[in-house]
A and B are shown apart, each in its own frame.
Chain A
Amino acid sequence: METLLSLRGLSIAFGGLRAVQDVSLDLAPGSLTALIGPNGAGKTTLFALMSGFLKPDSGQVWFDGRDITGRAPHLNARAGMTRTFQIVQPFATQTVRENIAVGAHLHIAGRGAALAEAERVAARVGLAERLDQPAADLTVAGRKRLELARALATRPRLLLLDEVLAGLNPQEVGEMIPVVRAIAGDARAGGVTVLMIEHVMQAVMNLASHVWVLAQGELIAQGTPAEVTSNERVIEAYLGRGTAARLREAAP
């Protein structure tokens, strides 16, 4: 299979805590997939390992056919892999336009051209009305969009989205899902592969073609959204040991 990103036996421990253990997975170019798992499963740590914010204790990260294990995040962004943060990290003193332009500057040297690009990207994520607002004034939903826009402005080939829907109300989630789909959709023509960490199952079921499930640092299941949500190990990872059996008994 053709792969864009490939993890080979990735592990990292913090003291006695084995945050990620022997994780291997392959992302096909053009795919929109999801990484799910209970809180503390190591999902964000895995993102940090992929994007170069953390160096693994063992294992490798391959991107576009090259071993990039432990390479600095800005070099990975330059090569086309950009991540967002679960806890949004706006450049608070700057306007929305200026925030997005920093991403655009990765490939655009001129200030005017970068600001114009920022405007186009803002329109794609529904921030066109807020271009001149300071980022600090945005609502949570607005900041999530900004996080996405800034990453998108770097013209990524692989976008790692860390819970862009967390903290949004159902209506805002409903508005955001088409935005994410459109980004991945441009994809098959233009090329954005998306891997999203997501807790909102509505979005996962709606968007992802393939799902990986991480629990206590290990990949415990993978498959289509329907497959993993009926997988006993997954149910137990979320709801506790023995739950799957009890659920079966309770079922008529």
Chain B
Amino acid sequence: MHERLSQRSRDASGRSVALKDVATIVVFAVAVALLTAWLDSGVWLTFVMMTLYATLLAQAWNLLGGFGGQFSFGHALFFGTGAYVQAIAQMQGGFNPWLALVVAVAVAAGVGAVVGALTFRYGLKGSYFALVTLAFAEVFRILALSVGFTGGGVGLMLPLAESAGNMQFGSRKGYIALMLGLVVAALAVTAWLRRSRFGAQLQAVRDNEDAARAIGVDPWRTKLGAITLSGGFMGAAGAFYLQVFQYIDPAIAFGPQVSVEALVGAIVGGMGTLWGPLLGALVLHTLADLTRNLFGALPGINLVIYGAVLILIVMFLPRGIAGMLDRWKRS
């Protein structure tokens, strides 16, 4: 009887923790929506949009890198896949962009599954996994330069056709609404990872793969699930990029810049946490904009300062900003 009572209270407390995550995500979404409605400066709206976009990149990377411990250096692979599928489905397949988004996410997730099946099948870990993902992204970049349907080095330009049905919004606010939806989806998946069997197994594989195998966790399937999810969200970010900037070329799609932005955001914010990627994206974007505005007259200085702050954060906050806040809260 006592046992049953204590189990019930624990289930309830487990549920209340889950509810807390859901509540914070809802509060976050409402706050961003209100802020967006209230803002009318284009500069600030762009800031909100790009921060949300960077959050999605970081959160997508976090699903595999933070929760699964598999550090990819080539997440642009999924980003570029998403962007190109979004463009090609519309321009050559005649798809509605909303439908194209679904296809882009599915194809990027599929690319994630294939890459994961190959690399995890052969037990690639650590720097080997990082190098192989980098190589995959480079192969895709060269392929995109070489084949016809990607437009080669010229890239693809999405024809202008402004309407919500076309996922081309007249103002930043429409794009923010779309990106907010994607970020909330990524946050919801992360919150689920934190209290589900799959998430527990994924974190066990991250912390100690042999120990996890000994107690019945299949590391291959677990990591495969994580890279598929991660690839899907990264593909959504790529599709979003295409809709906003209406242009994609192989260097933007598969170059290292997106890969780095994704992993730096997650590492600075706090790997394996729910809010770390958002904090990382926010801090990094603020920092980048500040240095650009303050030192714009001295080209390059902003990057030097940006880099120096990055090094400091990685050196002194090994668990990222979220880890630091967590420590404060406890002490």
Question: Which residues on A are within 8 Å of B, measured CB to CB?
Answer: 51, 53, 72-74, 77-78, 82-85, 89-94, 98, 101-103, 105-106, 108-116, 119-120, 150-151, 153-154
Contacts and interface: CB of A to CB of B under 8 A. Distances in A.
Interface of B: 3, 6-7, 10-11, 14-15, 195-197, 200-201, 203-204, 207-208, 210-219, 272
Contacts of B214: 51, 53, 73, 77, 82-85, 151
> What are the 9 tightest A-B residue pairs by CB atom distance, in nearest-first order?
A77-B216, A89-B211, A91-B207, A106-B216, A112-B11, A73-B213, A112-B14, A103-B215, A102-B204
A195 B207 CA distance: 27
Given A105-B201, A151-B214, A94 B14 contact: no
A91 B201 contact: no
B210 A89 contact: yes
A119 B13 CA distance: 14
Nearest to A105: B197
A151 B211 CA distance: 9
Contact of B211 (A85, A105, A153): A85
Contacts of B195: 111
Among A93, A98, A112, A154, max chain B CB count under 10 A is at: A112
Contacts of A120: 3
A124 B211 CA distance: 21
Contact of B213 (A72, A92, A105, A114): A72
Nearest to B196: A111
A72 B212 CA distance: 12
A91 B10 contact: no
B10 A82 contact: no
Contacts of B15: 112
A101 to B, nearest CB: 6
Nearest to B10: A116
Given A92-B207, A102-B212, A74 B14 contact: no
A70 B7 CA distance: 39
Contacts of A110: 197
29 contacts: A53-B213, A72-B213, A73-B214, A74-B216, A77-B214, A77-B215, A77-B216, A83-B214, A85-B210, A85-B214, A89-B208, A91-B207, A92-B207, A93-B203, A93-B207, A94-B204, A94-B207, A102-B204, A102-B212, A103-B215, A106-B216, A110-B197, A111-B200, A112-B7, A114-B197, A115-B10, A116-B10, A150-B215, A153-B215
Nearest to A103: B215
Contacts of B6: 119
A119 B6 CA distance: 10
A124 to B, nearest CB: 13
